[in-house]
């Protein structure tokens, strides 16, 4: 059974691109368009990894990460921050509970090795 990756992204084009890439690597994808939906999706679907956009409406990625880290079941779930602000958010992402950070636009040569690293492939 393929590993499930939750993509949390509020821009439809970026979400579609990430979904296409991730599915081409053989993973199953789940989607959320804001942090609040991400928290609900994590509880319902129990993904194996989260790609978390940091700047979103309703609840941003940092706040959603903190909430997800508060659940016993998801305290160790790999969460990779995704941001167009580059490494300037790296410290904030780690402090919120993210495991790593990938810059937008997503570089497919960077994405697959990061996913494999955290999913044990």
pLDDT in tens, 4-44: 999 999 999 989 999 999 999 999 999 999 999 999 999 99
| CATH numeric code, 4-119 | 3.40.50.2300
Tokens representing residue 10 in the block:
């509020």
Residue 57 above 90 pLDDT? no
Report the pLDDT value the prediction gives residue 27, as an integer from 0 to 100. 95
Residue 47 above 90 pLDDT? yes
Report the pLDDT value the prediction gives residue 91, as an integer from 0 to 100. 86
Phi and psi at 52, nearest 5°, equal -110, 110
For the segment 60-91, what is each residue's pLDDT rounded down to a tens digit? Answer: 999 999 999 998 888 889 999 998 877 777 88
């Amino acid at each position: 059974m393929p590993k499930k990756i939750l993509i949390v992204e509020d821009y439809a084009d970026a979400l579609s691109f990430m979904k296409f890439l991730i599915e081409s690597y053989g993973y199953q994808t789940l989607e959320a368009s804001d942090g609040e939906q991400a928290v609900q999706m994590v509880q319902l679907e129990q993904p194996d990894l989260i790609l978390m956009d940091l700047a979103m409406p309703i609840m941003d990625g940092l706040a959603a990460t903190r909430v997800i880290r508060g659940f016993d079941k998801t305290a160790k779930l790999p969460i990779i921050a995704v941001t167009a602000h580059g490494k300037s958010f790296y410290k904030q992402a780690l402090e919120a509970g993210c495991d790593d950070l990938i810059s937008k636009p997503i570089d497919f040569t960077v994405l697959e090795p990061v996913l494999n690293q955290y999913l044990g492939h």
